[in-house]
Amino acid sequence: MSKVKVIIDAYGGDNAPLEVIKGAAQAVQELDVEMVLCGNEPQLRELAAKSGIALTGMEFVHTEKVIPVEESPSEILKSYSDCSMAVGLKLLSGGGGDAFVTAGSTGAAVVGASMIVKRVKGIKRPAIGTVVPTGNGCYMLLDMGANAECRPEMLQQFGIMGSAYMQRLMGIERPRVGLVNIGVEETKGLDLQLETYKLLKKSPLHFIGNVEARDLPLGGCDVAVCDGFTGNVILKLTEGMGKMMTSELKTMLLSSTKTKIAAALLKDALNGFRKKLDYTEYGGAPLMGISRPVIKAHGSSNAKAFKNAIRQAKTFHENNVISQIEQSLSQL
């Protein structure tokens, strides 16, 4: 059986390209994958040599340009059609790899994936879905940034895609799909929520109704559906609260000799808690609704985060999430 081949944008992200190369090297060693790095090949090879990074299991596709994060996303099809991200997406579309990872511009990744790799037949808009930790597991939040404005049928499809992901990758037989709203009553929300509720209620999904934001960290649902504006606010607030709690806990446990002793006794439990809140453990967010696996890694990803984004890309491909989405769409 051939190894999974993952294409990566070597110049996407705040810490590229060094952390990308490190993460790719770790992935080759630990995940048994092959890597294709898109970027300036001479620079990448020189950097790897200086840093003592072995390039075993890696191949390169040379590109000169990098699309800036502040550039208009549509420029990936125009002035930056030969940038590292665009070339990687073209490789994926042409069968040059099994999945693609980038930590570059989110907007450019969404536009590029939609226009170059193409959407799954029937999907109106792709959505960025991310797995968020809860007190008793995790849930998938989507959309969390690709579509600030949505129509009800788009949110219904987000529910289908999120449910397929949680079934195939998390092993949840009937994922509970909730619609993010300001109250649990069926009559709550604006027109978007009211009409989406009706569609989800009629769908074959395990729809449990509206969920409030406060219930999400408590495991209120397995798939949380919302527009990209709302989802991004929820995600950023969750990240901020996680950092604040970790910082406050550290300050509290180091405040006296007694608390330091307690911290030593709780070391394993505290490390587990910190790991649960660490975004680098999750790697990245799949771009749901694209016909091939595309993973959007965090812009500030380090080597560990890139390795785990590659792990997610491999798992996404191996578990045939896209075929599950296609099957679920056919049931509507």
Q: Where are the domains of the chain?
A: 1-123+289-332, 127-281
| 1 — pLDDT class (breaks 50, 70, 90) | low
Decide: pTM greater than 0.85. yes
Cβ count within 10 A of residue 272: 10
**CATH code that applies to domain 127-281:** 3.40.718.10
Average pLDDT over residues 139-159: 94
Around Cβ 318, how many Cβ atoms within 10 Å? 14
pLDDT in tens, 58-111: 999 999 999 999 999 999 999 999 999 999 999 999 999 999 999 999 999 999
What is the C-alpha separation between 290 and 319, in angstroms, rounded? 15
What confidence score (pLDDT) does residue 230 get? 96
Residue 130 C-alpha from the chain's centroid? 5
Q: Is 222 left (phi over 0), alpha (psi -120 to 50) or beta?
A: alpha
* 272 pLDDT more than 70: no
Task: For strands 127-128 and 284-288, give the pairing.
Answer: antiparallel
Does residue 128 register a pLDDT over 90?
yes
The string of pLDDT tens digits covering residues 164-181 is 999 998 889 999 999 999
pLDDT at 262: 74
Concatenating the DSSP letter of every residue in 111-178 gives: HHIIIII-BPTT-SS-EE-EEEEETTEEEEEE-SSS-SS--HHHHHHHHHHHHHHHHHHH--SSPEEE
CATH number of 1-123+289-332: 3.40.50.150, 3.40.50.2300, 3.40.50.300, 3.40.718.10? 3.40.718.10
Lowest mean pLDDT among 43-47, 218-222, 232-236, 241-245: 241-245
- pLDDT score recorded for residue 79: 93
Asked whether the domain spanning 127-281 has the same topology as the one spanning 1-123+289-332, the reply is yes
pLDDT at 253 over 90: no
Distance of CA 16 to the CA centre of its chain: 18
